[in-house]
Each structure stands twice: as C-alpha cells, then as structure tokens.
Structure 1
C-alpha cells in the first residue's frame, strides 16, 4: 500500500512536469502554423520573433525557479505547487486569448514563471517523500510526465494544423488550463514534505506523514519510525548551523562539490540539445528536406519514443545501475549521434540533394538522441540535482541548479532557430564539443549516490562537519548548562 500511494503521489505532483512537457511540445508546432505567423505582424523577422516566443517562456522559467527556492523554504512544498498552478492558469489564459503579440509575450512569461516554480518543486517534493530504494523511480516520474506532456502536445499540434483561422493555435494553448486546474484542485490533498515539517518544528505531523508513506503493516511502521528518527536527528542538527545565505552553497569544500554536481548535471542536460529538438524539431526536419506536414508528423512520432524509453529505464534500471554510468553513456552517445547528423546534413544539403536514405538516417539520429536522453540526463538530472543537498540547503540548492538549467535553456531557445536556418549543420558541432567535455567531467568528478538516504550524502561529499556530531555536541552543551543551573539552585 505504501509503494502504491508513493507512486500515485509522485505522479500527481508531476502534473506540474506534464505542463512543462506540453508547452515545450506545443510551441514547436505552433510556430510552424501559418495562422500564427500571420498573428505576428512582422513576418520579415519571424525567426527572431519565434525565438522570442520560446525564450520569453524560458526566461520566465528562470525567474520562477529562482523565487521557488524562497517559497519552498518559507511556505512549504504544497503551497508552492499551488502558486505555480495559479500562475499557470493565468499565463495560459493570456496566451490563448491574446489579442496582440505583446499580450502573447506577457502570457508566455507568466506561464514560464509558473513552470519554473513547478519544475523545481516537483523533483524536490518527490525526493523528500520517496523511500531511498525507489527514489530514482519516484523522481524520474517528473521526466516521464514531461515526456507524456510532449506526446500529447505533438499530436494535438498535428491535429490542429487542419483547423482554420486563429483557432489553429488558440485551442492547443488553451488546453493547458485543464492540467493546471487539476493540480490546483488536488494539491490540498497532498501531504506536506515530512522534512519541511521537521524543519518548522511540526514533528508529530511529520511522523504521521512518514508512517502514511510507508504503509500500514507492522514492519512498514517500524521502518517508518526508524527513518523518522534518523531524519529528525539529522535535520535538528543541521538547523543548529543553518543560514539562509546563498553563499552556503559554496561555503565548504563539500557544499561546493554538491553545488557543482547539481548545477553541472542540469546544464549538461541542456548541452544534450534535447530542447533544441523539442522546440525546433520541425525546423530541423525541414533542414533534412521534409515538408511542413511531414515534419509535424515525424515530430509527433518522435515525441512518443522518449517517454516509452524513460518509463522502462526508471522502472527497471535507474535504481540498479545508479546515476553516474547513465550520464556517461548519454554524453558519449550524443557525441556519436550529433557527429553522424552533422555529416549527413553537410554531405547531403536538403536544397541540393534528394537522398531519401540520408533523410531517414538523419531522422534516426534525432530519434536516437531522444532515446539516449531518456536513459541518461532526462531522469537522472532531476534525481541527482535534488538529492545531493542537505535539508538546510536543499530548497535553495535545487532552485540554484534549476535556474542554471533554465538560463542555458533561454540561450539555446533564442539562438537555435536562427542558427539552424543560417549555419545549418555547423550548429551541431557545438553539441559534439560540449558533450565530449561533459563525458570527461562526469567520469572524473561525479559521485555515485544510488540507494543512499538523503541524510547519508554527507559521507559521499566529505562534509567537514557531520550532522550527528553537531547534534551530539549540542546535547552535551545543553547538559552542561542544565548541570550549571542545578548547581546554582543548590
């Protein structure tokens, strides 16, 4: 019962990730629609304006992820999810009902702000409520729901190309309101993070949540009490040395390593180029010689490949093989796929060659990139970035790492469409070089964290001060003070 409840809870929370995937997929279709091009009053600079549609959203995501670090600490995980859902409703309504391009951009920023909040909070919440042996799977559900959102968006976009007028792009944007509303309505029934409750002195509520997460059997309750005791001891110790300063993320060698790993895995996920394909896949297929309709169809099929692969990976493999090996495999694989894609586009330019075999091979490389991402950076980046930090800095640390993700997302979303249209295959050389460097860095500096409790990360990262030692010292200090008072009274 405990595992079933955990999976349901993690999946429901990941509706926030579904919104992320849906927007990423639907905007790739919308920017190819003639009705949307007509809506933008300056078609002569459409490449830069369509890039702005994408980058304003990702810019909003950056700001949302930054704010969510504070709201998660101050208001809690559930309240932050609710804030994200409300902002998503507002932003999606503005986009769907926009009467000019400026209104569209404002809606994109607001919706992006919401996704930034949710993209940071969903893996954080799932990390803190998942049992250690299933944490990879539970947190990996965030990436799974991103993929499902992407599938839905691609096929909605494919169907909406046959609509007439502005309904062609207004309808798919408006459909985002449904999952946002579902998340808002259902969030009050989600239990608060037990670690956040302990932080705020609500230990009895935290114990009740831990017991509920473990299940009702005697063995499960015994395991719940044991986990709660360790959780309570560690968090109470950390509170003795807690600071709200951002500089805590690099105050010690152990914390600096944690921060570099969390930021690195998020940024390296962007270096995979997966969001370039997600946002501008139809443009990439056009560069391979496909028509607009064919591009949308292929994008729809492409969207299903990653989530299916991701599901089997997080279910059967991730918590067995760990974090480091999949990341190295992913970075190495991207070097190969982008090298082949570069060679194909360079050797068989679509304007000069009608080689259908080359086109199919190019599409295959894009599909393989999605598959390799789904067994590496896709799920692992969310898991690793949220599990490496101690409780006292987990919220702000996850926020900082997610902001780094969105910062590079903004960069790639703004320049990619222009680069694909102007320098073609040369743009893919960037990803070959980046992933080669990633492979080396991961192999040399990234630790393995599978199967360890969140409270055991101090050992992995070599923290200078162990939380249990701090707590023991605090108990000794309190006892001395108590003895002094007794001596004075006598």
Structure 2
C-alpha cells in the first residue's frame, strides 16, 4: 500500500480532516450530548431508578446521583487529558490518538451493556478517558500538520463537527424514544463505536506530526512528511528551512519536564501556559457546557415546554453549531482569533442576560419563545469564537518542546471545571432557576478585557514564530503589542547565537525595506559557503570573477575561520591588528572626514514620539529588574522598530522608491542587539563574524561579481547604550576595516531621542561610496 494512501498536498490535508478530525470530533460532540436525551426515557429510568428524579422520594439525593453519573464522563475526560502530558511526547500524536480510540471502544461496549449503576458510571469514566485523549491530541495533531495560512480553518472545523455530533446524538435519542425496551438507549450508546473505529483506521495510514518527528531526531521521516504535506520534493529548500526552524525552536530549551511549564525563562513558558489555560477555562465559563449537557432538561423544566418539543428543540439547537462553525472556518484566518473570541464573548453576555430575564416570566408564552430564541442565538455566538478556537489557541501559543504538556494541562483544567459545573448545575437550577445564567453572563463580560489585553494574535503565524513574539516580551501586556507590530514570517533564529559566542546573542537581522530584495536571506549566513576557497564562480552564467574579487573572498573566508576559532569575545585594537583588522573611530558629523564612508544619512526625519521615548526611558532605567538578561535589549529593539517602521514612513516618498529600484547595490544594513557592556576601545567577536558573513553572502552573488567591496552597516542596540558600526574590506591592503561610532547612552529622553533619530538616519539613508 502506498504511503499515506498515495495522497499529497491538499488531498492529504482533506483526508486528515475527513478521516480523523471529523469522526474524532463527532465522537466528542456525540458523547457530550448523548446522556441528556436518554435520562428521561422510561426504560432507562426503570433500569437505573437511583437517578429517576421524578419518582424519587429524596429528590436532592437523586439529583446528586444523576449529576455524578453525568459528571463521571468529565472525570474520565480529565484524567484522559492529563495522561497526554506524558503519552503525547512518548508515543507521538498518531499512537496516542490510536490509544484514545481503543479506550473509547472499550467504554462504549461497557456502557451499552450496562446493567447496574456502578457499571454505567465506570463505563462513562472509561469513555470519557478515551474522549479526553482524542480532544487533547487530535486538534494538536491537526494544527501541527496544517499550513500556517489554513491552520485556523482546519482546526476551526471542530465547531462544525462537534455540532453535528451533538445533533446526531439527540436526533438518534429522539428517534429511538419511540421504541420499546432497552434498545431505546443501548443502541444510541453503541452507535458511536463506528466513529471510534473510523478514527483508528485512518490515523494508522496518515502521517505523524513532523514537529514530533524532529523532536525525536527522526529527520528523514519528518522531511518526507513535510514534503508530502506541501506536495514538494523532499530535498526542496522549503523542507530544509522548516526542519531548521523546528530544530531552532527546540534548541531554545534543554529541560522537557512537566515542572518546566511553571518556569518563566527567556521564552516566557509560564506566561504562555497561563494564557493557554485561560483560553480553555473561558470555554467552560461561557456556560455552553451546562446547556449542552442539560439542553432537554432546560427546555422542559425551566422553560415549561413539553417533553417531545424539548427533545426536538435540543437536537435543532445543536444544528446551530455547524452554522456558527462554518462562519468560524471562513473568518478565523481573516479576522483572526482575537476578533472572533471578543465578538463571541460580547454576544454571549447579551444572549445569556436576556435568557435570564425572559426565562423568569414562565406564564408569558412570548417571553418563553424569546428565551428559546436567545438560547439558540447564544449557541451561534459561542461557536463562532469559543467552539474551536481555544483548542487551536492552546496549541499555537505553546513552545514546541512543551506543546503537548501545555495543551494537555490547559484542556485538563477545562475538564476539571466541567466536572464542577455538571455536578452543581442541577442543584443550581433547582435553587436559582433561570437566574443561574446571570453568573455565566458575568463570566463572559470578565473575559473581554482579559482577551483584549493579554491574548496575542496567532493568525497567519508559524508555530515557531510565536517563540519570537514571546522572546520580545517584557511585560504582561507586551505580547499583544509585539504580535501587532512584528512582521509575519520572522521566526526566531538562534543558529548565529550558537556559532558566535556564549556571551554574544544576535537574534535578528532587521533589514530596511529598500534593501530587502537586494540582501541575502538570513539563512545564507548561517551555513558554510558552498563556494570553493579560491575557485572562480560558475562559468555557465558567463560571468568571470576577477582575481581581485577572488582574493577578497579568500581573505574574508580565512579571516572568518580565524575569528570563529578565537576563545575571546572582546577584542581591542592591538589584538585586532594582529588579525589584519583595523578598528577605527567613526563620527556621524557630516562635516568630518570620519563620517561613514559607504552610507549617507537620510535627512529630515521626525523626532521620536513621546510615547516611544517614555517607554525607552522606562526600559533604560537602571532600577528596572529584568529576569531575562536580554529583556532590556529586546525592549529597546521594540521601540526602535516602532519608530523606524511605523513612524518614519519612508516608502511613501516617490524619489525614495525610484532611487533604490535597482538590484546592483552590494550594501547591506542590519540591526543587531545584545545586552553586553560595550566601550569605545574594543569590539565584539560577534560583531566581526556577523559583518564577515554578511559580506561573504553579498560577494558570492553573481549579479554583484563586479563589486570588490560589500560594505555592511549595523545598528548595534544594547541594554544601556547603542552604536553604529560600518565594516568593509580594504582591497588595496587586504585588510578588514570596522569603524565604530561613540556610544549613545540611554540615560534620559533627550539622549534616547538623539540616539534613535541619528541611528535611524543612517539605517534609512542611501548607499554611497565606490564599491567597484
């Protein structure tokens, strides 16, 4: 049998959705609603008289027992989800899903054959355990195999399938209610086994998560899976780049224990775990779980509708789910997760408040109809936001090495709250009536500011890209701000950090937009050059490399190897001279001979806004406490990005666009940042290596072969100060020149304003000087 049934690309994604996501989520929705439709069946009440509230002498006791039976399913779901914290990473996503489906089958068989209350409770615990495993793993698996631009839509289909599952259970309950004997409830209990078997069969032939394969070191398998998912060659550069992104994300961490989710660290792991847990907690606090479990009882007992009418309305109520789910699927990647969650919470508040108010007028038929309408509208409002997004969001927000742990931990919190709600809801309805819904209206209102201020947008981001967003975090509200401003497609890259020096961190090369199309990709400077030491460039392009150009490349490559082998990370002028590196002073005074040689400033830039300066001052305050040694530099970089790329709208200038329309400039600009203490007499080993690799990346381009010099301008942002670095190779003396400006101190608003404006002038300025 061909691997993955011979499917590739979109066909493979469709097979994953229809073969695993659909039946898996159908079982979850089906099992959640199934018992609510059989609790009032005559034969079921005769078989289990302990939960027959209507005929019980001690109604509070019967209500408690019935609540326990209903809650036993969620208890199993809680422990099933918790087990995924260990199972998910040990056995992988596929085998964990298989295990969940098998446990479901066992629970279904025991429940359909139940002859005592004890067996019914035990079977529901087992069924819930299997369901918990599927709920924790299937959305995670789906999110990890889906492309970033379709991940929301793929996982968002959970709302559609869950609604169909709930409706299927209730319609089947209603149809079987007209039959006699135990078949009326045993057949609905047994029917779901078909869906569990479908999951078991299809997950066996579909691919494992490539991210889990990389985590386990199975790179060749991961490459094959990625190639099949993208329908490209296994040796394609896109496959290699994705593998590298995942490896880089994993390299951020060494520990992989459960306790690590309670540590903050440079990637804010605990912060991310809290957000994931809040997303799943909010799902339960919307009130949807309560209504789903007791839909029929709410219509019959609280809104005074007949039994048959209540059963039919309960089934139709669930059909609203697929409508809301379809809306979510089509809008989740366009509008984003935050907009749908906020809109859902606002709609929930309005609907539940009206249900609570109208539901108290039991003698008013119009009020009862209005209450029914707003219950239906609530379900639509709930599904478009909370129906699927929390499961997706919990997986997206977590770092790769703890994705299973955080995802399972957050979903287990959801199950734990569900246990509490299902156990107390009958008691609450008996004592509070419809005003019970006011509590959930208040909970939904509380969610709105929390989501707005704390939940960053994940739409269109790669799962590895979220690491970058939290790496730039420096306050509880910063993740949202960073996600709003960080350009898409910038995944975190630590390969240079590992190659350069334990004390030197360079996490980003931020190019000015006018030079982005002329500069080598960051990845090209992170791997050894594929050009022989002094061999001429490719002759098939009919471009002849001059001897001087070859000698320049040879000198720079030798210098790079020498500097990389050094044990020191800070070098003074004397040490550099031995390496044939000239460290020179540079000034930004345009009237001085010491001004930058290859980069001209852009005049008339606006002053940085007060808000930017205020934020930067707060960061530069020496009394500020940063738990992460790079937080200060990251924070300065955020303000720099805001000023340069949002306040200075240099692309709106027609002369600016035409001036840089060509592709013949070898100049390269970059922003680097670290949290080291610099001075005017030394330079860092990392500064040299970055400059050399950027130069070599330019000099190996065929279109730039006639250039002998590839100058590099770097804005070096540090926690307490910044400086401008210009580097180039001197072809006449075969030496490498690094020119450094004096340090710009970040002490007050005046000094910060001067520093940001001056550095931006050169970063956004024109290429200059002769490079031929």
2:25 to 17, 36, 40: 17
Instruction: Name the TM-score, length of structure 1 as normaliser.
Output: 0.92
- 2:102 corresponds in structure 1 to 86
Alignment check: 8 A CA contact 1:215 1:221 kept: no
Alignment check: 8 A CA contact 1:449 1:460 kept: no
Matching of residue 364 in structure 1 with residue 373 in structure 2 = yes
Matching of residue 402 in structure 1 with residue 438 in structure 2 = no
- 2:261 corresponds in structure 1 to 248
- 1:318 corresponds in structure 2 to 332
Q: Could you tell me how far apart the structure 2 residues matched to 1:100 and 1:38 are? A: 11
- Summarize deviations over 1:60-93 as a string: whole Å, max 9, x none: 1000000012111011001100110110000011
Alignment check: 8 A CA contact 2:357 2:435 kept: no
Alignment check: 8 A CA contact 2:468 2:492 kept: no
Q: Could you tell me how far apart the structure 2 residues matched to 1:249 and 1:381 are? A: 20
- 2:173 corresponds in structure 1 to 157
2:347 to 333, 343, 346: 333
Q: CA deviation at 1:216?
A: 4.2
Q: Could you tell me how far apart the structure 2 residues matched to 1:369 and 1:475 are? A: 55
Q: 1:26 to 1:229 in 2, by over 3 A?
A: same
Alignment check: 8 A CA contact 1:249 1:397 kept: no
Q: Could you tell me how far apart the structure 2 residues matched to 1:192 and 1:249 are? A: 28
Q: CA deviation at 1:476?
A: 4.7
Q: Could you tell me how far apart the structure 2 residues matched to 1:264 and 1:426 are? A: 25
- 2:382 corresponds in structure 1 to 373
Q: How many residues align?
A: 475
Out of 456-465 and 446-455, give the one that drifted further.
Answer: 456-465
- Summarize deviations over 1:411-455 as a string: whole Å, max 9, x none: 111111222233201211110111111112112211111101011
Q: CA deviation at 1:470?
A: 4.7
**Structure 2: gaps of 5 or more residues:** 1-7, 475-489, 503-560, 567-772
- 1:26 corresponds in structure 2 to 34
Q: Could you tell me how far apart the structure 2 residues matched to 1:172 and 1:211 are? A: 42
Q: CA deviation at 1:222?
A: 5.0
Matching of residue 430 in structure 1 with residue 439 in structure 2 = yes
- 1:390 corresponds in structure 2 to 399
Q: 1:190 to 1:343 in 2, by over 3 A?
A: same
List aligned pairs for 1:150-229, cutoff 5 A: 150-216=166-232, 223-229=238-244
Q: 1:467 to 1:302 in 2, by over 3 A?
A: closer
Q: CA deviation at 1:318?
A: 0.4
Alignment check: 8 A CA contact 1:337 1:366 kept: yes
Q: Could you tell me how far apart the structure 2 residues matched to 1:222 and 1:123 are? A: 28
- 1:54 corresponds in structure 2 to 70
Q: Could you tell me how far apart the structure 1 residues matched to 2:402 and 2:268 are? A: 12
3-state secondary structure, aligned to 2:388: helix
- 2:459 corresponds in structure 1 to 450
Alignment check: 8 A CA contact 2:245 2:493 kept: no
- Summarize deviations over 1:160-219 as a string: whole Å, max 9, x none: 11111211111100111111112112221011110110111100000000010011489x
Alignment check: 8 A CA contact 1:69 1:396 kept: yes
Q: Could you tell me how far apart the structure 1 residues matched to 2:366 and 2:318 are? A: 22
Matching of residue 6 in structure 1 with residue 21 in structure 2 = no
Q: CA deviation at 1:149?
A: 1.0
1:142 to 119, 136, 158: 158
Out of 376-385 and 419-428, give the one that drifted further.
Answer: 419-428
Q: Could you tell me how far apart the structure 2 residues matched to 1:11 and 1:387 are? A: 22
**Structure 1: gaps of 5 or more residues:** 485-490
Q: Tell me which protein shows more helix as a share of its residues.
A: 1
Q: CA deviation at 1:54?
A: 1.5
Q: CA deviation at 1:469?
A: 5.7
Out of 147-156 and 248-257, give the one that drifted further.
Answer: 248-257
Q: Could you tell me how far apart the structure 2 residues matched to 1:446 and 1:95 are? A: 40
- 1:488 corresponds in structure 2 to none
List aligned pairs for 1:114-153, cutoff 5 A: 114-153=130-169
Which has the higher Rg, Structure 1 or Structure 2?
A: 2
Q: Could you tell me how far apart the structure 2 residues matched to 1:6 and 1:249 are? A: 35
- Summarize deviations over 1:103-148 as a string: whole Å, max 9, x none: 0000000000001111000111011111000010111123322122
Out of 203-212 and 23-32, give the one that drifted further.
Answer: 23-32
Q: CA deviation at 1:467?
A: 9.0
Matching of residue 100 in structure 1 with residue 116 in structure 2 = yes
Q: Could you tell me how far apart the structure 1 residues matched to 2:328 and 2:271 are? A: 27
Structure 1 vs Structure 2 CA RMSD? 2.4
Q: Could you tell me how far apart the structure 2 residues matched to 1:92 and 1:424 are? A: 34
3-state secondary structure, aligned to 1:454: coil
- 2:310 corresponds in structure 1 to 295
Instruction: Name the TM-score, length of structure 2 as normaliser.
Output: 0.59
3-state secondary structure, aligned to 1:132: coil
Q: CA deviation at 1:305?
A: 0.9
- Summarize deviations over 1:339-358 as a string: whole Å, max 9, x none: 10111122x13xxx1x3221
